[in-house]
Protein backbone atom coordinates (compact mmCIF):
# COMPACT_ATOMS: atom_id res chain seq x y z
CA UNK A 1 0.00 0.00 0.00
CA UNK A 2 2.33 2.74 1.13
CA UNK A 3 5.18 1.01 -0.67
CA UNK A 4 3.34 0.99 -3.99
CA UNK A 5 3.02 4.74 -3.82
CA UNK A 6 6.78 5.07 -3.57
CA UNK A 7 7.93 2.29 -5.88
CA UNK A 8 5.02 1.63 -8.27
CA UNK A 9 4.38 -1.85 -9.70
CA UNK A 10 7.95 -3.11 -9.66
CA UNK A 11 9.42 -6.53 -8.97
CA UNK A 12 9.97 -5.58 -5.31
CA UNK A 13 6.33 -4.78 -4.63
CA UNK A 14 4.96 -7.86 -6.41
CA UNK A 15 7.24 -10.14 -4.39
CA UNK A 16 6.23 -8.36 -1.21
CA UNK A 17 2.57 -8.90 -2.14
CA UNK A 18 3.22 -12.64 -2.39
CA UNK A 19 4.95 -12.66 0.97
CA UNK A 20 2.19 -10.63 2.59
CA UNK A 21 -0.49 -12.89 1.13
CA UNK A 22 1.38 -15.94 2.43
CA UNK A 23 1.41 -14.41 5.91
CA UNK A 24 -2.21 -13.38 5.62
CA UNK A 25 -3.51 -16.77 4.55
CA UNK A 26 -1.89 -18.51 7.50
CA UNK A 27 -3.45 -16.25 10.08
CA UNK A 28 -7.00 -15.57 8.99
CA UNK A 29 -8.86 -14.16 11.95
CA UNK A 30 -12.54 -15.05 11.75
CA UNK A 31 -15.43 -12.99 12.98
CA UNK A 32 -17.84 -15.65 14.27
CA UNK A 33 -21.39 -14.56 13.49
CA UNK A 34 -23.20 -17.57 14.91
CA UNK A 35 -26.82 -16.50 14.48
CA UNK A 36 -28.38 -19.94 14.76
CA UNK A 37 -27.62 -23.67 14.85
CA UNK A 38 -24.64 -23.48 12.44
CA UNK A 39 -22.92 -21.49 15.18
CA UNK A 40 -22.62 -24.66 17.26
CA UNK A 41 -20.78 -26.45 14.45
CA UNK A 42 -18.58 -23.39 14.04
CA UNK A 43 -17.67 -23.60 17.75
CA UNK A 44 -16.73 -27.24 17.27
CA UNK A 45 -14.28 -26.12 14.62
CA UNK A 46 -12.03 -24.58 17.29
CA UNK A 47 -12.02 -27.58 19.62
CA UNK A 48 -9.10 -30.09 19.75
CA UNK A 49 -10.85 -32.58 17.48
CA UNK A 50 -11.08 -30.36 14.41
CA UNK A 51 -8.51 -27.84 15.61
CA UNK A 52 -8.62 -24.98 13.16
CA UNK A 53 -5.44 -23.61 14.75
CA UNK A 54 -3.58 -25.98 12.41
CA UNK A 55 -4.57 -23.42 9.77
CA UNK A 56 -3.96 -20.35 11.90
CA UNK A 57 -7.63 -19.42 12.22
CA UNK A 58 -8.23 -20.22 15.87
CA UNK A 59 -8.29 -16.57 16.92
CA UNK A 60 -12.01 -15.88 16.91
CA UNK A 61 -12.36 -12.18 17.54
CA UNK A 62 -15.64 -10.77 18.70
CA UNK A 63 -14.86 -7.36 17.33
CA UNK A 64 -15.21 -6.99 13.56
CA UNK A 65 -12.43 -4.39 13.61
CA UNK A 66 -9.85 -7.12 14.30
CA UNK A 67 -11.07 -9.64 11.73
CA UNK A 68 -10.60 -10.40 8.08
CA UNK A 69 -12.98 -13.32 7.63
CA UNK A 70 -16.70 -13.06 8.31
CA UNK A 71 -18.34 -16.44 8.94
CA UNK A 72 -22.09 -15.94 8.71
CA UNK A 73 -23.32 -19.08 10.45
CA UNK A 74 -27.08 -19.24 10.50
CA UNK A 75 -30.45 -18.16 9.22
CA UNK A 76 -30.35 -14.47 8.31
CA UNK A 77 -33.68 -12.71 8.63
CA UNK A 78 -34.47 -9.39 7.01
CA UNK A 79 -34.21 -7.76 10.41
CA UNK A 80 -30.77 -9.30 10.99
CA UNK A 81 -29.53 -8.35 7.50
CA UNK A 82 -28.83 -4.78 8.60
CA UNK A 83 -26.68 -6.06 11.46
CA UNK A 84 -24.74 -8.46 9.22
CA UNK A 85 -24.06 -5.68 6.76
CA UNK A 86 -22.97 -3.32 9.54
CA UNK A 87 -20.52 -5.89 10.90
CA UNK A 88 -19.19 -6.48 7.39
CA UNK A 89 -18.75 -2.73 6.88
CA UNK A 90 -16.85 -2.44 10.16
CA UNK A 91 -14.25 -5.01 9.12
CA UNK A 92 -11.05 -3.57 7.64
CA UNK A 93 -10.07 -4.37 4.04
CA UNK A 94 -9.14 -6.83 2.63
CA UNK A 95 -11.90 -9.10 3.92
CA UNK A 96 -13.56 -12.36 2.99
CA UNK A 97 -16.98 -13.87 3.68
CA UNK A 98 -18.10 -17.46 4.19
CA UNK A 99 -21.84 -18.19 3.92
CA UNK A 100 -22.10 -21.21 6.18
CA UNK A 101 -25.07 -23.54 5.73
CA UNK A 102 -27.99 -23.56 3.33
CA UNK A 103 -30.05 -20.96 5.20
CA UNK A 104 -27.31 -18.39 4.82
CA UNK A 105 -26.54 -19.39 1.23
CA UNK A 106 -30.07 -19.66 -0.19
CA UNK A 107 -32.62 -19.36 2.60
CA UNK A 108 -32.68 -23.15 2.82
CA UNK A 109 -35.80 -24.69 4.26
CA UNK A 110 -36.97 -21.25 5.36
CA UNK A 111 -38.70 -20.35 2.13
CA UNK A 112 -40.67 -17.64 3.82
CA UNK A 113 -41.28 -13.91 4.03
CA UNK A 114 -38.99 -13.21 6.97
CA UNK A 115 -35.76 -14.90 5.81
CA UNK A 116 -33.38 -13.44 3.23
CA UNK A 117 -33.05 -15.97 0.43
CA UNK A 118 -29.25 -15.85 0.36
CA UNK A 119 -27.00 -13.29 2.02
CA UNK A 120 -25.29 -12.59 -1.30
CA UNK A 121 -28.16 -10.16 -1.87
CA UNK A 122 -26.46 -7.65 0.41
CA UNK A 123 -22.91 -8.91 1.12
CA UNK A 124 -20.34 -10.27 -1.38
CA UNK A 125 -19.77 -13.94 -0.54
CA UNK A 126 -16.51 -15.79 -1.31
CA UNK A 127 -17.34 -19.37 -0.31
CA UNK A 128 -20.70 -21.04 0.19
CA UNK A 129 -20.82 -24.08 2.49
CA UNK A 130 -23.56 -26.65 1.88
CA UNK A 131 -25.16 -28.65 4.69
CA UNK A 132 -27.78 -28.22 7.35
CA UNK A 133 -25.77 -27.67 9.43
CA UNK A 134 -22.45 -28.39 7.67
CA UNK A 135 -19.98 -30.55 9.54
CA UNK A 136 -16.96 -28.74 10.97
CA UNK A 137 -14.80 -30.52 8.35
CA UNK A 138 -16.88 -28.82 5.72
CA UNK A 139 -16.23 -25.40 7.21
CA UNK A 140 -12.56 -26.30 7.49
CA UNK A 141 -12.57 -26.97 3.77
CA UNK A 142 -14.16 -23.57 3.21
CA UNK A 143 -11.39 -21.92 5.22
CA UNK A 144 -8.82 -23.77 3.11
CA UNK A 145 -10.52 -22.47 -0.02
CA UNK A 146 -10.36 -18.95 1.42
CA UNK A 147 -6.64 -19.52 2.02
CA UNK A 148 -6.19 -20.47 -1.61
CA UNK A 149 -8.03 -17.33 -2.63
CA UNK A 150 -5.85 -15.20 -0.41
CA UNK A 151 -2.71 -16.82 -1.82
CA UNK A 152 -3.91 -15.89 -5.30
CA UNK A 153 -4.50 -12.35 -4.08
CA UNK A 154 -8.24 -12.47 -4.71
CA UNK A 155 -10.81 -10.64 -2.65
CA UNK A 156 -14.41 -9.83 -3.42
CA UNK A 157 -14.40 -6.83 -1.14
CA UNK A 158 -13.69 -3.63 -3.01
CA UNK A 159 -10.62 -2.05 -1.43
CA UNK A 160 -10.29 1.68 -1.58
CA UNK A 161 -8.50 3.25 -4.50
CA UNK A 162 -5.30 5.15 -3.81
CA UNK A 163 -7.15 8.45 -4.01
CA UNK A 164 -9.88 7.26 -1.67
CA UNK A 165 -7.32 5.97 0.79
CA UNK A 166 -5.47 9.30 0.83
CA UNK A 167 -8.73 11.12 1.40
CA UNK A 168 -9.67 8.70 4.16
CA UNK A 169 -6.33 9.24 5.90
CA UNK A 170 -6.74 13.00 5.67
CA UNK A 171 -10.20 12.67 7.20
CA UNK A 172 -8.82 10.54 10.01
CA UNK A 173 -6.11 13.10 10.70
CA UNK A 174 -8.68 15.87 10.69
CA UNK A 175 -10.99 14.07 13.08
CA UNK A 176 -8.18 12.91 15.42
Partner 1 sequence: MNTAVVDKLKAAFPAGILAAKEFRGETTIEVKKEEIVKVCAFLRDDPSCAFDYLSDLCGADAYTPEKRFEVIYNVQSLSRRERLRLKVFTEESDLHVPSVTSIWPGAEWPEREAFDMFGIIFDGNKDLRRMYMPEEFEYFPLRKDFPLMGIPDSIPLPRK
Q: Applying CB under 8 A, which residues contact partner 1? A: 78-79, 81-82, 85-86, 111-114, 116, 121-124
CB of 124 to partner 1, least distance (A): 7
Contact (Cβ atoms closer than 8 angstroms) between residue 115 and residue 144: no
Please say which residue, 29 or 122, places its beta carbon nearer to partner 1. Answer: 122
Positive/negative CA dihedral, 169, 172, 174, 176: negative
CB of 113 to partner 1, least distance (A): 3
CB of 1 to partner 1, least distance (A): 25
CA angle 86, 54, 155 (to 5 degrees): 40
3-state secondary structure of 160: coil
Please say which residue, 34 or 124, places its beta carbon nearer to partner 1. Answer: 124
CB of 99 to partner 1, least distance (A): 14
Strand order across the 69-73 sheet = 30-34, 69-73, 96-100, 127-129
CB of 96 to partner 1, least distance (A): 16
Please say which residue, 66 or 114, places its beta carbon nearer to partner 1. Answer: 114
Please say which residue, 33 or 60, places its beta carbon nearer to partner 1. Answer: 33
Count other C-beta atoms under 10 Å from residue 23's C-beta: 11
Please say which residue, 49 or 111, places its beta carbon nearer to partner 1. Answer: 111
Residue 108, judged by CB atoms within 10 A of its CB (0-12, 13-18, 19+), counts as middle
Amino acid sequence: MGLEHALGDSIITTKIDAAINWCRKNSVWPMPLGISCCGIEMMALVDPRFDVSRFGSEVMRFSPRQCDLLIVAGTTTYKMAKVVRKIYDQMPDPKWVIAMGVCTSTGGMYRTYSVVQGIDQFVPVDVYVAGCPPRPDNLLHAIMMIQEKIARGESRSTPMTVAEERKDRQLVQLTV
